[in-house]
Amino acid sequence: MSSPIRRAQLVVVAVVGLSGCAWDLGYLLRQGLGQAELLVAAQPVGRLLQDDGVSVDVRRRLALATAARVFARDVVGLDVKQQYKKVVFLDAPAVVYVVSAALPTDLTPYTWSYPFVGDLPYRGSFDLAEAEATADQLEQRGFDVSVRPVSTYSLLGFLPDPILSSMLYRREELDVVETVIHELAHATVFAAGQGAFNEGLATFVGRQGRRQFVAEHFGPDSAVARRATALDDDDDAWAAAVQALAFDLRVRFAQGGDDDVVIEDKASIYLAHQRHWQQEVAPTLFSMRLRAARLPENNAELSAVGIYSLKQQLYQQAFDGCGGDWGCFLGLLRGVAAESDPEVALAERARTRLPEIELR
């Protein structure tokens, strides 16, 4: 057995053994093996950048990922370690498939318990059939479910994350930059069992970091920057539509009543928001991707999207409260990560505007 495979499996087994809890060992070992196979297949980025046999487009995107890694370390101050120094070319459009679930009358996401990282609102699998089987089981229990492909994920610095072709071939080149910074944010600040906080902060850091990267590398008034701003505006419009949908659903769920009536009303709310998006908003957008996009269609999809997008204003306020200083902001995030509800703690500290020396 090759050493990377052995090392990945031992990490999983050791964590489970130390935890003393009865997690699904078979599931964890399958994921450990899948991760080990990625490590074995990884190739050094530096070598490929010098290989004329590699297409110009691939080398350009690899160079962007490498530049984003350096920017994340030197400007943002993220923990980089050995991340993203190698690349894996997959034979699939996604690296894992993630299951999300929620009750049909509640937007609170269903959670799974994992060693070390605690309860998280998703369950990933390298095998699509396994993910779909998990979703089917939950659907039979009455949950709304969602299965979505994922282009990359973070190992939180415990093992070296490679660049994956699924993240490399995104439609927009700058998505590579944002994804690298996003995942490195996970390896820098992580709160066990706090999925919304972890994804919320990584989403903000990735997006803000990418904006600053573009300004530094291409110029704030460049065509690249103008295009990125237009796409950001479209993303904001989509996020606002998701927020409006979530608000109306929460109001209806809070009113209660017979479940069948609530579910019927829920369907009407989803349909009304979908129509408004597709008829009134989407045609006005610059992004062809979002023109063709739809809003979440059930509570599982909406709760999964929500942990990334619904509280971005909170992180923006905290960042602005630090005067845009990354050291202050990351110090603030680290400080609240140990709280029972990091987002509530972040809102409180941002509101009281503690002196920067304390935030650090």
**Residue 203 forms part of a structural domain:** no
- Gap between the Cα atoms of 323 and 94, Å rounded: 38
Look at residue 181 and tell me if it is in a domain: no
| Domain assignment of residue 59, yes or no | no
Confidence grade of residue 135 (pLDDT, cut at 50, 70, 90): very high
Residue 245 located in a structural domain = yes
- β-strand pairing of 163-164 with 86-88: parallel
For residue 346, is it within any domain?
yes
Residue for token pair 């059930």 = 298
Mean pLDDT, rounded, of the chain: 90
Q: What is the pLDDT of residue 33?
A: 86
Number of domains comprising the chain? 2
Among 125, 107, 70, residue whose Cα is nearest residue 250: 107
> Is residue 195 assigned to a domain?
no
Does residue 143 sit within a domain? no
Given CA atoms 293, 173, 159, 204 in this order, what sign does their dihedral have? negative
At which of 26, 41, 56 does a domain end? Answer: 41
**pTM greater than the 0.85 cutoff:** yes
Length in residues, the chain = 360
- In the structure, how many helices (H) and strands (E) does the chain have? 16, 8
Domain that includes residue 323, residue range: 223-359
Would 314 be classed as within a structural domain?
A: yes
First to last CA, the chain: 45
Q: Provide the pLDDT confidence category of residue 60 given band limits of 50, 70 and 90.
A: very high
